[in-house]
Amino acid sequence: MSTPASSTAGFFQTPPQIANQFQEDQALQRSLSLFLAPSTGSRITPDLTRLGGLVLTDQIHEYITDAESNPPRLRGNGYTMWGASQDANTLQTAAGWKALLRTAREVGIVSTAYDNTLGPEARVVQAAKVNLWCASSAMTACPSGMQDGGTSIILSDLARAPSARYPESMRPLRKAALEGALARLMSPDPIWGWTSGQWMTERRGGSDVRGTETVATWVGLGDSDETDPNGVPLGPYSISGFKWFASATDCGCAILLAYTPAGLSCFYAPTRRLRGGEGGTEVMNGLKIVRLKQKLGTRALPSAEIELSDMRGWLLGDEGRGVAVIAKLLNVTRFHNAARSNGYLARGLGVARAFARVRTFPSRPGSVLKQIPLFCHSLSKVVVRHRADTFFTMFLAALLGVGTEAGAGVGSTSVAISTGVIPGPDDATLLLRLLTSVAKAYNTKHCVIGLQECMEALGGVGYLENEETPQFNLARLFRDANVMPIWEGTSDVLATDTVKVLRGRVGPECTAALDRWVGVHAGVGRGKEGFEAERAAIRTAWSNALAWPTDKEELLHRAREVVESIGDIVCAVLLILDAERDGDDVAAEIARRFAAHAFGVAPPRAQAAWEDTHRMDQRIAFEADGDAGRLERARL
């Protein structure tokens, strides 16, 4: 008995295709126009458009597939076949992983942040690149984020006087070591350049770095013939201990915590040392990879347990001030986490839309999923959430660029500053201190929830790994995205940090800075007509926040509520500011729907016919499609 012929297209009339990621993402485009000067936007749009196409090419997907199919592994056990001791286990990563690291350098995922021609707007442009790149990076975006954090902390250290712990004769060598590391971290060369590790987590302490057991001992430079890979003498501290969770173990250097007699301190150390001078042999710098971690996702990323024995390094900042020093790095890496979350969800929405545009139904000839009212209503909710979170991240990026710690001067030509969206450097620094943990906790959680909805939009196909069509592999994105609410501080850890800021030494100043910002943009009589109810709701929510318990311990058990409330207030303000700029009715509807959900404002279109609501759902859900000929519904 013959089998009926089946269509190669399955339930598609034509195969789904994902548009250029940048052109698809209206949230990203509109946020850039809010936070960048028009001249900057015109300058960087071609670059972002190219990147939006690159991340969806067959070549990039081949790299992803190779990196995922050939996860990192260790070779050797520290001995040769004859029993002689050798350096350590050797880490092997896939060719696809290396190619993606190379691509990240070529497109400027890190270097864009330090582009002097962009001034304080550089971080906003960088956030856009991270957003577009991350879902195609096979999590090479993780070492890139730590590379950025390492770059930032070394730049900050070089800008200040070195610790008195160093004698005058040693200071030029220390400066040369840090400048050599900086050159490699900033280099576009994929062979010579470095990524950076960030090693804090230990078995006893976990996220509590006070549980660190690694110890750093001053031993001086000595007369060894060993140097760092740049030919500079190894640092005067000998570091020994065990790091329980070290990501990016193929990095060129690491920023790590260890105890000295003065307390917990921060160190820079290259991961390799040169034995025998120029032309000599490179060996591990007191580092042994004990075993690789097996994880739910991020499978291509080499995360490991590492043993340190006489790892030579240089102190960053002062002894005993390690937490304060590394906090600057955490600002950068948490910002990356928030930006990656937006990018992952943007890609998920792109896949869901591509599917919905062509998914047909035998029982409904001529209909596609995009026309189903319930589908559009469900997807529109994810789009509203994604747009709010994207604006939050770009706001954070602008604060990072303008804040006094970034070295930005007053009087920037940034459109965000000139229109008052971003305050001056002092208030920007205070807002950055308060909002970084909020944005990271807020956005990453929404990313996971949103990606689950995007998977569900494809039905059972969304649950498949789809190695044959990796551009539609939402299962990979979902399992990778689950690390983001955990890495660099879980939701509870970040919520705790937020309460500690509010009720700590700088709390009154941070609160006053946010109060000024909310007052400027949501105060009585502010803005254009049409959002009075939403602004009133924001003011009420902020008044309620100002009445939170003054006792830190009492507020800590409500810390997640604190994060959600602050995030909602900031996002609502930004969405209203966006909608008021050009009178875009979709942007206005998104702002009103967000406020209705966050603050219980009377739902927009409450009295509208459901068909009209469906049409707006469809316009929101398929925001990049335009209106003509597309605002219809399927016959049920």
Q: How far apart are CA 407 and CA 479, in angstroms?
A: 37
pLDDT at residue 4 in the model = 42
> Helix, strand or coil for residue 21?
helix
Q: How far apart are CA 104 and CA 143, in angstroms?
A: 10
| DSSP state for residue 135 in the 8-state scheme | G
CB 522 within 8 A of CB 538: yes
pLDDT at residue 466 in the model = 78
> Cα–Cα distances in Å, from 597 out to 76, 341, 556?
56, 21, 25
Minimal CA–CA distance to 379: which of 616, 49, 68?
616
Residues in the chain, pLDDT under 70: 1-10, 13, 77-88, 404-414, 418, 603-607, 627-636
For 163-173+190-322, CATH gives: 2.40.110.20
Domain boundaries, the chain: 11-162+174-189+323-487+609-636, 163-173+190-322, 490-604
Q: How far apart are CA 325 and CA 303, in angstroms?
A: 24
Helix and strand element counts for the chain (H, E): 21, 12
pLDDT at residue 362 in the model = 78
Q: What is the DSSP string of 342-400?
A: HHHHHHHHHHHHHHHHHBB-TTSTT-BGGG-HHHHHHHHHHHHHHHHHHHHHHHHHHHH
Alpha helices in 159-291 (DSSP H): 171-186
Residues 6+ positions from 404 with CB-CB distance below 8 Å: 425, 426, 428, 429
Please name every residue paired with 157 in a beta bridge, in sequence order, or none if there are none. Answer: none
| DSSP state for residue 34 in the 8-state scheme | H
Please name every residue paired with 437 in a beta bridge, in sequence order, or none if there are none. Answer: none
Minimal CA–CA distance to 542: which of 566, 509, 524?
566
Q: 496: number of CA atoms within 13 Å, CB side?
A: 8
pLDDT at residue 78 in the model = 57
pTM of the predicted model as reported, rounded to 2 decimal places: 0.93
| Pairing label, strands 73-75, 272-275 | unpaired
CB 241 within 8 A of CB 214: yes
Q: What is the DSSP string of 444-480?
A: HHHHHHHHHHHHHHTTHHHHS--TTSGGG-HHHHHHH
**Residue environment code for 176-193, b if the CB has 16+ CB neighbours within 10 A, otherwise e:** ebbebbbebbbeeeeeeb
Q: How far apart are CA 386 and CA 449, in angstroms?
A: 11
The reply to whether 11-162+174-189+323-487+609-636 and 163-173+190-322 are identical in fold is no
CATH 1.20.140.10 fits 11-162+174-189+323-487+609-636, yes or no: yes
Please name every residue paired with 308 in a beta bridge, in sequence order, or none if there are none. Answer: 241, 287
The kind and range of the H/E element at 550 are none
Residue indicated by tokens 């992803």: 64
Structure tokens at 601: 């404002």
pLDDT at residue 80 in the model = 63
pLDDT at residue 281 in the model = 87
Q: How far apart are CA 358 and CA 144, in angstroms?
A: 36
Q: How far apart are CA 502 and CA 217, in angstroms?
A: 36
pLDDT at residue 7 in the model = 45
Minimal CA–CA distance to 272: which of 180, 173, 143, 154?
180
> Helix, strand or coil for residue 488?
coil
Alpha helices in 36-77 (DSSP H): 38-54, 58-69
What's the pLDDT tens digit per position in 552-588?
Answer: 999 999 999 999 999 999 999 999 999 999 989 999 9
